[in-house]
Chain A
Amino acid sequence: MRFTADPGPLAELDWAPGEIGDGADQRRDVWSVEMKGGQTPLVQHGSERVRAVRMVREGRLGFAASRTASWRQLQAQAADAAVAGPETKLDEPVLAAGAISPGVPAFDPAMAPRMSLVARELYSRLEGLADDFRPAVSVAYHQLDTRLMNSSGGKAAWTQGYFALSAGGRRVDGTDFHAIMETRVGMDALTQAGELGNAVAERFAWGRRIQHLAGGRLPIVFLPPVVMSVLMPVLARLSGPALIAGNSPWEAQVGQRVLSPSLTILSDATLPGGPRTAPFDDEGTPTGRWPLIEAGELRHFVLDRDSARRLGHAPRGMGYRPAPNALPAALPANLAIEPGELGLAEWGRRFPRLLVLNGWIGARPTNPLRGDIAGNASELYLMDQGVITGRIKNAVISLNAFEALSQQLAAVGLDAQWLAQGMMQPAPGHVPPLLIDGVDVSMRR
């Protein structure tokens, strides 16, 4: 019994007159080095090559994906699936024949020893923070090669790639856990290893002292990793499926103010070094820099080609596969917030007392469209008179995302940071800190 991973050339796809569809051939490679206290260092290389065919027949969508089937087999499977498939308005973008966009250069596996060295040096640095600090370091390179061909004869090919460098660890003292994790993403992430180590060391120092707090309604600086939690309900209201289902309260609010005028949120495929920085989305639609919310006003929804056509909008390149063998769905490219003008230090001078939040356990809304979020603050620091004075424990932070990003938003920070997509985050982010006033903080006794 043998299964081959070579399906033959994409050009084998053969479209009958009037048929609509496309074939996508995506190869993902990830090289990574992982080191964690007490565990054996792990070096891995994973390679996936997924072929997918979409076909529209009589207004119904058929889809087939495989890692081993030939293009002809896939096309036949997609045709079979279309018989009972969902109704669709999918069309195909017109692509200049052979639109080749090389994107980033292909990864050189000879880089792996250097990645290993960077991981080892960072690990050693973090081991030195304290005898009982358990370091964790990961260095990875992600590469995605896409070739696409559609029924209108359009072709496109491009390569995306980025390094992701994560460092942090945990110190357990009795039943107190102080866990830190920082990430840098981009083509130049390896050069940021020193700065990353400093950031982890600084946060470790911030947390050595425990401070006490009475709770109440307080101004909180949401650092980038937790900003993404606040953005998820916004994404839910903007997304095509929620609009088509009639579930989004924003369905008729284009051009109206829905969030704070100091907030501009974008789907941006042009930001250098981003995980979804590319000339096309996963459907072959040309991408760009599209404001979703501009100065608080609703400008564009997050729509793939099918939902765009159903709702009468032009597709803007926001169709991405949530998983390699899944259909493209309505998702933003890189979800970005346009940075403001001030940073943490300046905010600290303006507010005599601030909280700084970087870890928020379970901060997912029970109902994304409504936007209520509450979660344990797992990494929360107290800033008094512009100086971090220690870590706050036993706090639960609660807010409504829409109120927080409208009436309560006090300022947008200066320094945006890349965040890779993950288990709970369907799109990569490039977001600055947000200062949100009057946030509810409940304390355990």
Chain B
Amino acid sequence: MAGTNLGDEGILASLVALAANAEVDDIEIRLEYNETTQLDTLNEQVRQQTHVVDVGGNVRVFRQGAVGFVHFDGWDHIDRHVDEAILLAKWADPVHIGRRLGEVAPVRVMQRLKTQEDPLSVPLTDKVALLLQYAELARLTHPLIKSVTGRYFDRYRHLWFANGQGSAIEQEKLDLGGNIVVLARDRNEVAQRGVSFGSSNDFAVVRRLHGAVRDAAMAAVSLLQAPEIEGGEYPVVVDPQLAGVFAHEAFGHLSEADGQVGDSGLLAEMHLGRNFGPANLHIYDTGQDLGSRGYLPIDDEGVPAEDVDLIKGGVLVGRLHSRETAACLGETPTGNARALHYRFPPIVRMRNTVIAPGDTPFADLFQGIERGIYAKGSHGGQTNGELFTFLAGEAYLIENGQITRPLRNAVLTGNVFSTLAQITAIGSDFTRYEGGGGCGKAGQMPLPVSHHAPSLRIERCLVGGRSR
């Protein structure tokens, strides 16, 4: 179905007409055709394979200081859904009559997929064979590897969007990803390590995992007998993957303006021009990195992507916006309004959050550390704005500037505001890491995002762990 004859101009024309005739302050109408393939394997067996087609849409209206939102399956009676959205908006009890949305010029565009190796043209049997091949490889790597799970998905989306400003957009999108998780077990001791992958345009990323799977198997085995980290403050060196998660969790979420509007305390703290880190720290968010999972040339409010500098020269210079938050703060929409799919309204989200490379060679990041932690890879993270926690995939003790032995259960935590100031070196080893997970916010998970970064050295990072 993908890439075939869904390009019916009548679809967009009918949405534009509906949007133009609605008696509201603004309106967005979205239709989607989504096709998802998912595979799950356990060792040499397929555990689950699904191919699901989702067709539906939503209507969001802004009326006298309230929003009505309706989502629906199928494409029937869209005019009735418009009426229902208006009715819902009337039921709200507005508290900010007259609120406006940020102005954007109407966008009229048809955007087709640009793939390298198109996953939709790869037979399902080949995808299964690859996952099973990795399982075999991991199990051959070490006899203590007891199980290997594989997960793969690809998701094709075809979207039609019209709004009350006259925008009419047809887009194709692609997202693929997954992971290979290797579990080692020795009597009652278990340890696991994973390899994650993702792309928005190239199935070939799934074909290049052999070395990473072998490394994961050996890492899992080495973690079996590793002692638990002793909790406390350490100087920490994080690899590019974890540094990217750090940028996302520790700062990116704080930059999302929907968390700032209406919060006088936070707006005072997040004033542009505030010093936030070392002078060579540059963090930005971009939707224009073709091939990354955060690639988003036009957001889900029809706003073209901007590169948004968040911290430049160590100073806070920007934030991420939807049309509503931009209007509220008198700033410009940045193309960061995203919805997981048609069953959600767009909210402010990151795309590809990037820490620009520094100039410290990797080996020099460890200089002078008497006792510290080297943390690699990520099992994810979480933030509440002030605090962040991220789970490292692997951790090693640093003694006298040298990596000495593995440790388990590395959970790095901190205060966003103070930790950014504790970055004392930025590596020159910039890496475009793409994982197969995603970001969760307000029930919308997993949203495809990316984070590209170099290694970082952070002083005085609090590492969770039980005391001796």
Residues of A whose CB lies within 8 Å of any CB of B are 1-6, 33, 35-50, 63-69, 77, 81, 84-87, 112-113, 116-117, 119-120, 123, 131-132, 134, 170-177, 179, 216-217, 241, 244-247, 249, 325-327, 359, 361-364, 366-367, 369-370, 372, 374-376, 378, 394, 396-400, 422-424, 440, 442, 444-445
B11, B69, B390, B460: the one within 8 Å of A445 (CB): B460
Looking across the interface, which residue of chain B has its beta carbon closest to that of A62? B49
Most chain B CB within a 10 A radius of its CB, from A41, A42, A87, A113: A41
**Are B66 and A43 neighbours in the complex by a CB distance under 8 Å?**
yes
Are A134 and B389 closer than 8 Å at their CB atoms?
no
- A245-B183, A363-B389, A440-B466 known; 6 new pairs, CB 8 Å cut-off, are A5-B76, A6-B74, A45-B84, A241-B42, A394-B462, A442-B232
- With both beta carbons as reference points, the residue of chain A lying nearest to B411 in the complex is identified as A374
**Residue with the highest number of chain B CB atoms closer than 10 Å, among A44, A68, A174, A369:** A44
Chain A residues within 8 Å of B258, by CB: 39
Q: How far is the CA of A374 from the CA of B232 in the complex (A)?
A: 12
A175 and B74 form a contact (CB under 8 A):
no
Any chain A CB within 8 A of the CB of B386?
A: yes
A67, closest chain B residue (CB):
B73
Give B421 Cβ to nearest chain A Cβ, in Å: 11
> Provided the pairs A43-B92, A174-B269 are in contact, do residues A440 and B467 lie with their beta carbons within 8 angstroms?
yes
Q: Do residues A398 and B465 form an inter-chain contact, with CB atoms below 8 A?
A: yes
Main secondary structure of the interface of A (DSSP, over half): mixed
B6 at the interface (CB under 8 A from A): yes
Would you call B53 and A361 a contact (CB within 8 A)? no
Candidates B8, B11, B65, B72; contact of A40 at CB < 8 Å: B65
A-B pair number, CB within 8 angstroms: 301
Contact A45 B70 (CB under 8 A): yes
Most buried by A among B51, B410, B418: B51
* A375→B48 contact, CB < 8 A: no
Q: Is the CB of A117 within 8 A of B93?
A: yes
Give the complex CA separation of A38 and B96 in angstroms. Answer: 8
Contact of B125 with A by CB under 8 A: yes
Q: How far is the CA of A176 from the CA of B95 in the complex (A)?
A: 27
B46 touches A2 (CB 8 A): no
Smallest CB–CB gap between A11 and chain B, Å?
21
Contact in complex: B42, A366 (CB < 8 Å): no
From the candidates B8, B68, B232, B262, name the one contacting A39 in the complex (CB within 8 A).
Answer: B262
A69 nearest CB neighbor, chain B only: B53
Chain A proximity of B192: nearest CB distance (Å): 6
* Residues of the B chain whose Cβ atoms lie less than 8 Å from the Cβ of A134: 262-263, 265-266
CA distance A364 to B414 in the complex (A): 16
Q: A41 and B391 in contact (CB under 8 A), knowing A84-B124, A86-B49, A396-B413?
A: no
User: Cβ of A1 and Cβ of B380 under 8 Å apart?
Assistant: no
Give the CA-CA distance A422 to B463 in the complex, in Å: 27
Distance in angstroms from B341 CB to nearest chain A CB is: 11
> B residues within 8 A CB of A396?
231, 411, 413, 462-464
Minimum CB distance partner of B99 in chain A: A40
A65 near B52 with CB under 8 A, answer: yes
* Interface size class, chain B: 35 or more
Q: Which of chain A's residues have a CB closer than 8 A to the CB of B73?
A: 5, 47-50, 67-68
Q: Once the chains are docked, how many angstroms separate the CA of A378 from the CA of B383?
A: 9
- B49 in contact with A85 (CB, 8 Å): yes
Instruction: Chain A residues near B410: list those with CB within 8 A.
Output: 366
CB distance from A157 to the nearest CB of B (A): 20
The 8 nearest A-B residue pairs measured at CB: A38-B262, A362-B389, A374-B464, A5-B74, A172-B265, A37-B262, A38-B261, A177-B386
Does A442 contact B462, Cβ atoms closer than 8 Å?
A: yes
Q: Which of B419-468 contact A (CB under 8 A)?
A: 440, 443, 445, 460, 462-467
Give chain B residues whose Cβ lies under 8 Å from the Cβ of A424: 440
**In the docked arrangement, what's the CA distance between A445 and B415, Å?**
11
Within the complex, the shortest CB–CB distance from A396 to chain B, in Å, comes to 4
The verdict on B305 contacting chain A, using a C-beta distance below 8 Å, is: no
C-alpha spacing A177/B390, complex, angstroms: 19
| Cross-interface CB contact of B387 among A5, A47, A361, cutoff 8 Å | A361
Q: Is B75 in contact with A2, judged by CB distance below 8 angstroms?
A: yes
Some 6 contacts from A to B, beta carbons below 8 A apart, are A2-B75, A41-B65, A44-B70, A64-B50, A172-B263, A247-B183
Q: Are B51 and A3 in contact (CB under 8 A)?
A: no
**Which residues of B (356-385) have their CB < 8 Å from a CB of A?**
379-385
Determine if A67 and B192 form an interchain contact, defined as CB atoms under 8 angstroms apart.
no
A359 to B263 alpha-carbon distance, docked (Å): 20
Given A44-B69, A364-B391, residue A399 in contact with residue B466 (CB < 8 A): yes
A4 adjacent to B467 (CB under 8 Å): no
Contact A217 B467 (CB under 8 A): yes
- Interface check B343, CB cutoff 8 A: yes
Write out the residue numbers on chain A whose beta carbons fall within 8 Å of the beta carbon of B47: 86, 241
Chain B contacts of A171 at CB under 8 A? 265
C-alpha gap A123/B51 in the complex (Å) = 43
CB pair B391 A84 closer than 8 Å: no
Q: Which residues of A contact B149 (CB under 8 A)?
A: 245
Distance A398 CA – B65 CA, assembled complex (angstroms): 45
Known: A44-B345, A246-B147, A247-B147. A84 touches B125 (CB 8 A): yes
Contacts of B392 on A, CB cut-off 8 Å? 366
Who on chain A is nearest to B232 by CB? A442
Rounded to whole Å, the gap between the CB of A237 and the closest CB of chain B is 10
A40 adjacent to B67 (CB under 8 Å):
yes
Q: Distance (Å) between the CB of B377 and the closest chain A CB?
A: 10
Residues of chain B with a CB closer than 8 A to A367's CB? 190-192, 408-409
Asked whether B128 is an interface residue with its Cβ less than 8 Å from the other chain, the reply is: yes
Task: Confirm or deny: B179 has a beta carbon within 8 angstroms of a beta carbon on chain A.
Answer: no
CB-nearest residue of chain A relative to B440?
A423
Q: Distance (Å) between the CB of B391 and the closest chain A CB?
A: 5
Q: Is the CB of B328 closer than 8 A to any CB of chain A?
A: yes
Tell me, in angstroms, the Cα distance from A61 to B26 when the chains sit together: 47
- For residue A362, which residues in chain B have a CB less than 8 angstroms away from its CB? 380-382, 388-391, 411, 413
A359 touches B343 (CB 8 A): no
B409 near A47: Cβ-Cβ < 8 Å: no
Given contacts A5-B73, A38-B261, A398-B464, contact A44 B53 (CB under 8 A): no
For the complex, what is the distance from the CA of A94 to the CA of B260, rounded to whole Å? 55
- Chain B hits for A132, CB < 8 A: 263-265
Q: Is B352 interfacial (CB 8 A cutoff)?
A: no
Contact A175–B418 (Cβ < 8 Å): yes
Given the known inter-chain contacts A362-B382, A376-B389, A396-B231, please indicate yes or no for A36 contacting B264, CB distance below 8 A. Answer: no
